[in-house]
């Protein structure tokens, strides 16, 4: 895969289809980190193959210095003006109109000064912010060097690759054969990429959603049902805006966006919050449909259920104290693996290299299942730790021991996205007379076999 810096629609679309996660945030690094750990930042940017790191960091630090000078100057002028205003008030009260008018002269000067300083400050802050938005998150130390998917590290592989019978077919044939998912109908009522699930297909969808949610709840995640359209502020906080509006469906009349993943509304639950330490870690799960325009996607890998405009997904989100976030990430991966094991799907876990991982992530594991009839691995989940990168934009904090507020770490992963799971279940379990579903789904579905 491409997707080096995550800024092109093309590479993002490729990376992110069902992996909730890489589509996500474009928040930013903190200026204080750039200032205090410049070397570490530059090394991290290099590992992510970000080309203009040194120049951008230098420019930001420069602008920040300018910003502080302006702030100081503005504050001093404003302080003097406030003081004069108080004096004028006192003079007016005592009837000394002439004395008051005399002070107003200076006040007018100061007003001009603060206005100039404020305007310039606004510009400088905007410039800083724009540069910060360009910088990707720093990779964790364990992230392998590399530019592309081939450089990803295979962490482990689980399960035997099934051998199919002679008449085996890819899922886009199987869904017609058993009449369980209908693309033609979806085209009629909406358009390409909006399939209609019918009969056992619809029941299988519902079964998977319930299975995933139950498993998440048992693993300690609290279920939430968020809105699936969000306002501009929410889409901005998780980083879809600005500059990825092309990937989201937009209702112009009310200026609302259809979510590309539950991560957007669920993470925004904690925007602008100082979370009491006893509520940490936050562990939420949510089932939602996800909508993606997938502008710029093409090619053979979009066939069938591999890439859709609307699909269902159960997402898990965690917000933790910084020292706990990597243990939390391991726990999320273990949870996802457990789901795949219960479904009996062969899978592998990859640690993404610096060039292939998402723009905003510090460490990402991809989980891929083997699709037997297509003969390839399909990404079904991706679990990431964003450290403070996203929290900085969200302003999601807690009060540390010293009483000082501190940014939290945010993480999320799909557990799981349905379409490719369905594809793998259909393909891997097909027999000459029907598709045998894994035992764990029988009670959820109300049947054990399709066809």
Partner RNA sequence: AGAGAGGUGGCAGAGUGGUCGAAUGCGACGGUUUCGAAAACCGUUAUACCGGCAACGGUAUCGGGGGUUCGAAUCCCCCCUUCUCUACCA
Q: What is the binding site for RNA (CB under 7 A)?
A: 67-68, 71-72, 74-76, 78-79, 81-86, 88-90, 92-93, 100, 104, 107-108, 111, 274, 397, 399, 405
One-letter-per-residue 3-state SS of 412-425 = EEEEEEHHHHHHHH
**Contact between residue 335 and residue 415 where contact means Cβ atoms under 8 Å apart:** yes
**Contact between residue 333 and residue 349 where contact means Cβ atoms under 8 Å apart:** yes
**Contact between residue 175 and residue 304 where contact means Cβ atoms under 8 Å apart:** yes
Residue 199 DSSP label: T
Q: Which residue's CB is nearer to RNA, number 221 or number 389?
A: 389
**Shortest separation between residue 76's beta carbon and RNA, angstroms:** 6
Q: Which residue's CB is nearer to RNA, number 61 or number 168?
A: 61
Q: Which residue's CB is nearer to RNA, number 40 or number 86?
A: 86
> Half-sphere exposure of residue 4, counting CA atoms within 13 Å on the CB side?
10
**Would you state the structure tokens that stand for residue 234, as one six-digit string?**
């929410």
**Contact between residue 264 and residue 415 where contact means Cβ atoms under 8 Å apart:** no
Q: Which residue's CB is nearer to RNA, number 85 or number 168?
A: 85
The CB density around residue 10, as the number of other CB atoms within 10 Å, is 13
**Contact between residue 365 and residue 155 where contact means Cβ atoms under 8 Å apart:** yes
**Shortest separation between residue 116's beta carbon and RNA, angstroms:** 13
**Shortest separation between residue 108's beta carbon and RNA, angstroms:** 6
Q: Which residue's CB is nearer to RNA, number 107 or number 306?
A: 107
**Would you state the structure tokens that stand for residue 321, as one six-digit string?**
């104290």
The CB density around residue 160, as the number of other CB atoms within 10 Å, is 8
**Shortest separation between residue 423's beta carbon and RNA, angstroms:** 33
Residue 276 DSSP label: -
Q: Angle, to 10 degrees, between the axis of helix 200-218 and the axis of helix 325-342?
A: 140
**Shortest separation between residue 88's beta carbon and RNA, angstroms:** 3
Q: Which residue's CB is nearer to RNA, number 108 or number 443?
A: 108
The CB density around residue 395, as the number of other CB atoms within 10 Å, is 14
Chain CA centroid to CA 227, Å: 16
Q: Which residue's CB is nearer to RNA, number 345 or number 391?
A: 391
Q: Which residue's CB is nearer to RNA, number 67 or number 313?
A: 67
Query: CA-based diameter of the chain, in Å?
Result: 103
**Shortest separation between residue 325's beta carbon and RNA, angstroms:** 20
Element (H, E) at 223: strand 222-223
Q: Which residue's CB is nearer to RNA, number 1 or number 76?
A: 76
Q: Which residue's CB is nearer to RNA, number 87 or number 338?
A: 87
**Shortest separation between residue 126's beta carbon and RNA, angstroms:** 13
Place of tokens 């598709």: 435
156 backbone dihedrals φ, ψ, rounded to 5°: -165, 160
Residue 260 DSSP label: S
Among 231, 225, 427, 209, CA closest to 312: 209
**Shortest separation between residue 275's beta carbon and RNA, angstroms:** 12
**Shortest separation between residue 32's beta carbon and RNA, angstroms:** 8
Q: What is the C-alpha to C-alpha distance for residues 347 and 353, in angstroms, rounded to an integer?
A: 19
**Shortest separation between residue 72's beta carbon and RNA, angstroms:** 3
């Amino acid at each position: 895969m491409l997707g080096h810096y995550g800024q092109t629609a093309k590479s993002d679309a490729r990376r992110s289809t069902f992996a909730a996660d890489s589509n996500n945030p474009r928040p930013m690094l903190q200026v204080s980190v750039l200032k205090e750990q410049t070397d570490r930042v530059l090394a991290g940017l290099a590992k992510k193959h970000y080309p203009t790191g040194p120049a951008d960091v230098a420019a930001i630090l420069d602008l920040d210095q300018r910003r502080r000078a302006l702030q100081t100057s503005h504050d001093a002028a404003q302080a003097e003006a406030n003081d004069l205003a108080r004096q004028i008030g006192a003079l007016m009260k005592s009837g000394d109109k002439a004395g008051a008018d005399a002070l107003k002269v200076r006040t007018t000067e100061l007003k001009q000064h603060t206005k100039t300083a404020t305007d310039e400050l606004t510009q400088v802050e905007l410039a800083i912010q724009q540069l910060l938005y360009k910088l990707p998150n720093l990779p964790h130390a364990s992230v392998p060097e590399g530019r592309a998917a081939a450089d990803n590290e295979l962490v482990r592989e689980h399960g035997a690759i099934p051998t199919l019978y002679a008449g085996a077919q890819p899922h886009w044939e199987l869904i017609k054969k058993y009449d369980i998912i209908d693309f033609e109908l979806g085209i009629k009522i909406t358009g390409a990429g909006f399939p209609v699930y019918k009969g056992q297909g619809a029941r299988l969808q519902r079964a998977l959603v319930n299975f995933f949610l139950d498993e998440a709840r048992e693993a300690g995640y609290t279920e939430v049902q968020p809105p699936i359209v969000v306002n501009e502020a929410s889409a901005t906080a998780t980083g879809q805006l600005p500059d990825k509006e092309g990937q989201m469906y937009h209702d112009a009349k009310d200026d609302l966006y259809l979510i590309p993943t539950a991560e957007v509304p669920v993470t925004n639950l904690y925007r602008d919050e100082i979370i009491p330490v006893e509520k940490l870690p936050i562990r939420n799960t949510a089932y939602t449909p996800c909508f993606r325009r997938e502008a710029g996607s093409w090619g053979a890998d979009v066939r069938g259920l591999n890439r859709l405009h609307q699909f269902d997904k159960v997402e898990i989100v965690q917000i933790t104290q910084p020292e706990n976030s990597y243990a939390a990430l391991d726990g999320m991966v273990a949870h996802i693996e457990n789901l795949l094991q219960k479904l009996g799907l062969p899978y592998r876990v990859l640690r993404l290299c610096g060039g292939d991982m998402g723009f905003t992530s510090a460490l990402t594991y991809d989980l891929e299942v083997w699709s037997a009839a297509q003969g390839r691995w399909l990404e079904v989940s991706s679990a990431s730790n964003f450290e403070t990168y996203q929290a900085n934009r969200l302003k999601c904090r807690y009060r540390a021991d010293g009483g000082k507020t501190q940014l939290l770490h945010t993480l999320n992963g799909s557990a799981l996205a349905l379409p490719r799971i369905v594809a793998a279940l259909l393909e891997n379990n097909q027999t000459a007379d029907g598709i045998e579903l894994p035992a764990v789904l029988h009670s959820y579905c109300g049947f054990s076999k399709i066809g």
